[in-house]
Amino acid sequence: MRVKHHPILGEDKRKENVTIVVDGKKIKAIEGEPIAAALMAAGIRVFRKTPKKNQPRGVFCAIGRCTDCVMTVNGIPNVRTCVTLVEDGMVIETQKGLGKWRESR
């Protein structure tokens, strides 16, 4: 959910002006925001599954330190989504385990 109105920061005038593809589904995002923010705004919380026990993981630190939020982005695994900005047409996948490298474009 986006914070549109804020008593201190005011109105958020940015528009959802790009489209990203998350596990095959199109999602609107704001140019310049991190992938994790776009996913959180869309209500997505599970970013990857752990290699051994297949347990869900999501955002923990949001500043690029903990690597809990890594996903496969444009075929590249282990991308920190909290510090990687969205681009129009970006293909994002829930990462299984350590992920696989793949040529996507």
Give the footprint of other proteins on this chain (CB under 8 A).
1-9, 12, 14, 33-34, 37, 40-41, 45-47, 55-66, 68, 82-83, 85
Quote the least distance from Cβ 58 to other proteins, whole Å. 3
Q: Which of residues 46 and 102 has its CB atom nearest to other proteins in the complex?
A: 46
Q: Which of residues 12 and 88 has its CB atom nearest to other proteins in the complex?
A: 12
Quote the least distance from Cβ 42 to other proteins, whole Å. 9
Q: Rounded to whole angstroms, how far apart are CA atoms 94 and 70?
A: 9
Inter-residue contact 2 to 43 (CB < 8 Å): no
Q: Rounded to whole angstroms, how far apart are CA atoms 23 and 77?
A: 14
Q: Which of residues 60 and 101 has its CB atom nearest to other proteins in the complex?
A: 60
Q: Which of residues 83 and 91 has its CB atom nearest to other proteins in the complex?
A: 83
Quote the least distance from Cβ 101 to other proteins, whole Å. 15
- Residue 84 in tokens: 């990687």
Backbone torsions φ then ψ of 51, nearest 5 degrees = -60, -40
Q: Rounded to whole angstroms, how far apart are CA atoms 46 and 69?
A: 9
